[in-house]
Amino acid sequence: GWQVSMKSGSLSYILPCNRLPVQLMSQVRVYTSNGQKKDLGSEDTNGSARGETLHKVETGMKAVLKKREYGPKYTQNNFITGVRAINEFCLKSSDLDQLRKIKRRSPHDDTETFTVYLRSDVEAKSLEVWGSPEALARERKRRKEAEIKYRENLFRNQRLLWEYKEFFGNTKPRSSTAAMFFKGPGKVVMVAICINGLNFFFKLLAWVYTGSASMFSEAIHSLADTCNQALLALGISQSARTPDPSHPYGFTNMRYIASLISGVGIFMMGAGLSWYHGIMGLLHPHPVESLLWAYCILAGSLVSEGATLLVAINEIRRSARAKGLSFYQYVVQSRDPSTNVVLLEDAAAVLSVAVAATCMGLTSVTGNPYYDSVGSLGVGTLLGTVSAFLIYTNTEALLGRSIEPEQLQRLTELLESDPVVRAIHDVKATDMGMSKVRFKAEVDFDGRVVTRSYLEKQDIEQLLQEIQQVKTLEELEAFMLKHGENIIDMLGAEVDRLEKDLKQRNPDVRHVDLEIL
């Protein structure tokens, strides 16, 4: 039966009488932060040991270090750059000379290291300079008001400078933005603006002379093309702006926005007016005057639009060859939205000239004005189709579509083939437009390889001596914290190396975000 009962600590154990009694002890050995040890019985387990900020509990064969509570906000070990210290804590550069300077790995590609300061040191220095947190807050408020006033004055001065340039003329040398319109897509757009502007003028004269609905549609078509291509030129110039804090990834998408608005403009102005004029011609037909001048102008328009079309085709072929894509893939993927708009508008212009000439010829042969109105409807339908394609492709580009699977596979294999990478997950590669790719992935790093990379840069004999000198808890903690921080720095360096390799081997990849899993 159960006859023998022993009590150890706060637990009671009942042992069978036919077995040897076993004494169970709940011995607790506490290591305090000063390295002293103390044996506690059951009556002292809730004693002063709980008040220690750092202690080590050994129960049986397991030893653990007590978790340190840092609180909801802990900035004691945070680093801060000199610029932030000066701006946020209202200090001078001379104030920072007296503080501890720490060299850290730079996040920028052009520099290897940069100097940072402990935030706690900066906060203490600011209180020393300003006397109290209230005085520091008043100084921050004063500087904020001065900054707002400075921006208002800057805006006013920029406006006065603009008015000065308008009055006296701009004597600045030609900027790089202006040079964009002498090559590549900018050149194509400028040629199209000039030719379509002339075409609109002559087609408008022909419509006034003949009263042809098809000629009116052609004039409206050329006007829409001219306005839309002027909008494309604006988008090209805006896309060349350098990134700023409000737009850290730049203004490349301005080309897609301009092309999207251009597609909407073609639909509303070109297709809408052509349909309207064609329907009115069917409802209220009227005889068409002599079409000789209209035929001459259409022939000249066909030649000029064809020339612009050839310029756009040659530019797209050259760009597609450089990217290793076919002509069709380059157009469908909207790699260059500005040239795409010119290509499709001029292709539609050539076809619409053929449609208008055919319908006008039928009208002149049969004397039936309905053919001319049908031609206007045909031109409107053609413009509506082109505008729908432009709206779709540019909307897809602005939404942030993924890159081609083959290219994504190459990027994935490049990461997985690196020794420090065990696996990658949640891979996202977004085409930001104009052959700029943003790559993001969660990376499972091999801690052993990273640690070995760190050890390869250390003096192993000196490291072994440090290990042998560890005798107390404080020495062990200091040793682990020192080398643990260095290993984390090594991990950050490996992340930087991987990001640099991805950009070098894939020039389209401009932004890389690797998250440690």
- Evaluate whether residue 54 is within a structural domain: no
Which helix or strand (DSSP H or E) is residue 500 part of? helix 473-505
- Evaluate whether residue 66 is within a structural domain: no
Shared-domain flag, residues 91 and 199: no
Show the tokens assigned to 201: 């003028």
CA dist 99 to 75, 78, 368, Å? 17, 14, 92
Q: Which of 168, 194, 223 is the last residue of a domain?
A: 168
CA dist 54 to 77, 80, 217, Å? 18, 28, 85
- Evaluate whether residue 18 is within a structural domain: no
pLDDT band at 72, cuts 50/70/90?
low
Q: What is the pLDDT of residue 445?
A: 93
Shared-domain flag, residues 427 and 488: yes
Question: Which residues are paired to 62 by β-bridges?
Answer: 59
Q: Which of 399, 418, 448 is the last residue of a domain?
A: 399
Q: Is the pLDDT of residue 440 over 60?
A: yes
pLDDT mean over 351-364: 84
Shared-domain flag, residues 265 and 358: yes
Show the tokens assigned to 180: 């964009």
Show the tokens assigned to 225: 């093309």
* pTM (whole model) above 0.95: no
**DSSP letter assigned to residue 78:** -
**DSSP letter assigned to residue 181:** G
Shared-domain flag, residues 302 and 357: yes
State the total domains in the chain: 3
Distance in angstroms (rounded) separating the CA atoms of residues 90 and 140: 7
Nearest residue to 451 via CA among 442, 443, 460: 460
**DSSP letter assigned to residue 30:** E
pLDDT band at 26, cuts 50/70/90?
very low
Shared-domain flag, residues 84 and 213: no
Shared-domain flag, residues 249 and 120: no
Q: What is the pLDDT of residue 479?
A: 92
Q: What is the pLDDT of residue 345?
A: 78
- Evaluate whether residue 258 is within a structural domain: yes
Q: Which of 399, 424, 442 is the last residue of a domain?
A: 399
Shared-domain flag, residues 221 and 330: yes
**Higher per-residue pLDDT: 120 or 243:** 120
Backbone angles phi, psi at 41, to 5 degrees: -90, -170
- Evaluate whether residue 388 is within a structural domain: yes
Shared-domain flag, residues 196 and 344: yes
Shared-domain flag, residues 332 and 217: yes
CATH at residue 293: 1.20.1510.10
- Evaluate whether residue 304 is within a structural domain: yes
Whether the Cβ atoms of residue 256 and residue 401 lie closer than 8 Å to each other: no
Q: What is the pLDDT of residue 5?
A: 40
Q: Is the pLDDT of residue 13 over 50?
A: no
Number of helices (H) and strands (E) in the chain: give both, helices first.
17, 12
pLDDT mean over 221-225: 77
Q: Residue 428: which domain range?
A: 405-516
CATH at residue 485: 3.30.70.1350
Shared-domain flag, residues 246 and 371: yes
- Evaluate whether residue 24 is within a structural domain: no
Shared-domain flag, residues 200 and 272: yes
Q: Is the pLDDT of residue 23 over 60?
A: no
Mean pLDDT across the chain, nearest whole number? 77
pLDDT tens-digit map of 135-154: 888 888 898 888 888 877 77
Shared-domain flag, residues 365 and 249: yes
- Evaluate whether residue 67 is within a structural domain: no
Nearest residue to 357 via CA among 313, 300, 273: 300
